[in-house]
């Protein structure tokens, strides 16, 4: 997992499968970055994520709730095919952007 922090914007580049086995580690790392930088915007880039199950939805929703406590914004970008569909079906109130 890579990240970039610039001018109050924290971008996390997820590069792995997001499933029940990886969520705990991913959650801990992302939360650590959020607490360290306290960004005004969190961007989760899913362009390299090839698989995500329902625990990934919980991961995203939990980060959304955390970032809202900081009165900040969260955006999910570049979800692919089935992952984008899973996010849409979950009815999360997030801005999802698909870049071609």
Whether the Cβ atoms of residue 15 and residue 1 lie closer than 8 Å to each other:
yes
Question: 2-97 adopts what CATH topology?
Answer: Transcription Regulator spoIIAA (3.30.750)
Cα 84 to Cα 17: distance, rounded to the nearest angstrom: 14
pLDDT at 85: 86
pLDDT digit string (tens) for the chain, length 100 residues: 999 999 999 999 999 899 999 999 999 999 999 999 999 999 999 999 999 999 999 999 999 999 999 999 999 999 988 888 888 888 766 666 655 4
Whether the Cβ atoms of residue 14 and residue 1 lie closer than 8 Å to each other:
yes
pLDDT at 29: 97
pLDDT at 94: 64
Burial of residue 52 (CB within 10 Å: 0-12, 13-18, 19+) is buried
DSSP state of 29: H
Task: Give the residue extent of every domain in the chain.
Answer: 2-97
pLDDT at 100: 43
Whether the Cβ atoms of residue 49 and residue 16 lie closer than 8 Å to each other:
yes
């Amino acid at each position: 997992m890579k990240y970039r922090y610039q001018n109050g914007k924290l971008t996390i580049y997820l590069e792995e499968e997001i499933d029940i086995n990886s969520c705990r580690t991913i959650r801990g790392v992302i939360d650590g970055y959020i607490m360290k930088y306290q960004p005004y915007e969190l961007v989760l880039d899913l362009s390299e994520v090839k698989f995500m199950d329902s625990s990934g939805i919980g991961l995203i929703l939990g980060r959304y709730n955390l970032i809202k406590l900081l009165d900040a914004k969260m955006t999910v970008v570049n979800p692919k095919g089935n992952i984008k569909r899973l996010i849409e079906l979950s009815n999360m109130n997030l801005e999802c952007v698909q870049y071609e």
